[in-house]
Amino acid sequence: MKLIYVASPYAGDIEKNTEFAKKACRHVMNEGHAFFAPHLLYPQLLNDANPDERQAGLDMGIAVLGKCDELWACGDRISSGMQAEIDLAKQLGIPICYVSEEQILGPLDPVYAIWAKAREDGPLAGQLGFLCENRRLLLFSSQSETEVRIKDLRNLCLNTSPAAVYQCVDYSVEYASDRRMHLETLQELDMIPAFTPDKFEVKSQAYGNTGGGCMVGTVQFYLPELDKSVWVNCNDECVTITSADYMWNEDHSESWERYDDVLLYQAGFDDALPDDVEPWLPMIKKALEYTIDQETRYFQGRAFSLPTAWLPESIRENADPEYLAWLQAEGKEAQVVYGSNIEMEKDYPQNGQGTFDMTVPS
């Protein structure tokens, strides 16, 4: 009897994913093995919204993974959390087995799929087939679910020439074919940005607590050249850009349940440089300007920390360039406080004390 580490989606529709995880564990048991599923065990004891308890659960899961004989990745999609577990298993030399949803649940009735046909004047001309992700056929239990995924695929296209057109089909009836097209290949072409970076319109702004004490600012930008909106979400640590409003759900799309499907870009401010994020930089700077203003109003007396390279121009242009150069040379972050002022470090060698006035002229 082997000990199997069960990896399956959890975040999003937790109730649905928990039921699937239970069935995945029963499948392991029916195959004659013992199972370990941390996402079924630890949430019963720990508060996932508490960072310390969440980390404790992750650490314990990692500790047990090293003692398992195999990792079984269950389901037809690999979530970001599952990918981290798979990567660790590879590092530890633990065999990985991919188990489809159909193997666990049995055939879906009815079954829908996405038929993809490459654009005739594009680089993949002549190619067509059922859409696959991570080398697995994408199957859906309802037509509406399939159409939502197709809509997300179209929204991820960042140019005016999509690599393929998509169609929802009855997998068992309409298209009897073993031809496949791989999502990764299509998105490599679709997600090449082709729009003017500073040509956008601000459609909405929101700031607040997304849960667990995480305060986030979100700005919706409309890109007229593509006739679509993107949402830039940031705090003092990172930025994510999505093709749907997964943070506040003002578009009523329930996109928080499919975050990986709507994600366009993400980066940590300590890990990326502004030069690396074109053509998103003007929108990120605009979203940061809004978030800094909202957060320093909300937490008066607490600074918003940000690497100097990421400071919005409305703040930077009123700053003392020598002080900003000193911060960057010392590897220090700028401390922006209420009123759009930059708080001066006490150990600044120019004997400065207090703050530089960074107020943007009205």
* pLDDT tens readout for residues 44-89: 888 877 888 878 888 898 899 999 999 999 998 898 889 989 999 9
- On whether both 240 and 184 belong to a single domain, the answer is no
| Structural domain harbouring 129 | 112-190
- On whether both 258 and 319 belong to a single domain, the answer is no
User: What's the pLDDT score for residue 141?
Assistant: 84
- On whether both 27 and 98 belong to a single domain, the answer is yes
- On whether both 182 and 205 belong to a single domain, the answer is no
User: What's the pLDDT score for residue 354?
Assistant: 43
Residue 118 forms part of a structural domain: yes
- On whether both 58 and 70 belong to a single domain, the answer is yes
Residue 292 forms part of a structural domain: no
- On whether both 126 and 84 belong to a single domain, the answer is no
Cis peptide before 110, with omega less than 30 degrees from 0?
yes
Indicate the average pLDDT of the chain.
89
- On whether both 125 and 36 belong to a single domain, the answer is no
User: What's the pLDDT score for residue 107?
Assistant: 65
User: What's the pLDDT score for residue 257?
Assistant: 85
Task: Express as a percent the part of the chain with pLDDT over 90.
Answer: 60
> How many domains is the chain partitioned into structurally?
4
- On whether both 90 and 134 belong to a single domain, the answer is no
Q: State yes or no: pLDDT of 346 exceeds 90.
A: no
- On whether both 201 and 235 belong to a single domain, the answer is yes
- On whether both 221 and 170 belong to a single domain, the answer is no
Residue 332 forms part of a structural domain: yes
Residue 8 forms part of a structural domain: yes
Q: State yes or no: pLDDT of 154 exceeds 90.
A: yes
- On whether both 94 and 158 belong to a single domain, the answer is no
pLDDT band for position 353 (50/70/90)? very low
User: What's the pLDDT score for residue 53?
Assistant: 85
Residue 167 forms part of a structural domain: yes
pLDDT band for position 110 (50/70/90)? confident
The domain boundary, picked from 273, 291, 319, lies at 273
Q: State yes or no: pLDDT of 358 exceeds 90.
A: no
* Residues in Cβ contact with 234 at an 8 Å cutoff, skipping those fewer than 6 apart: 216, 217, 240, 284, 287, 288, 291
Residue 168 forms part of a structural domain: yes
User: What's the pLDDT score for residue 351?
Assistant: 52
- On whether both 24 and 78 belong to a single domain, the answer is yes
Q: What's the rounded mean pLDDT across residues 269-281?
A: 92
Query: Which amino acid makes up residue 216?
Result: V
CA–CA gap between residue 212 and residue 114 (Å, rounded): 37
* Residues in Cβ contact with 214 at an 8 Å cutoff, skipping those fewer than 6 apart: 235
Q: What's the rounded mean pLDDT across residues 184-201?
A: 95
CA dihedral 336, 340, 344, 345 (to 10 degrees): -10
Query: CATH number of the domain that 85 lies in?
Result: 3.40.50.10400
The domain boundary, picked from 230, 255, 273, lies at 273
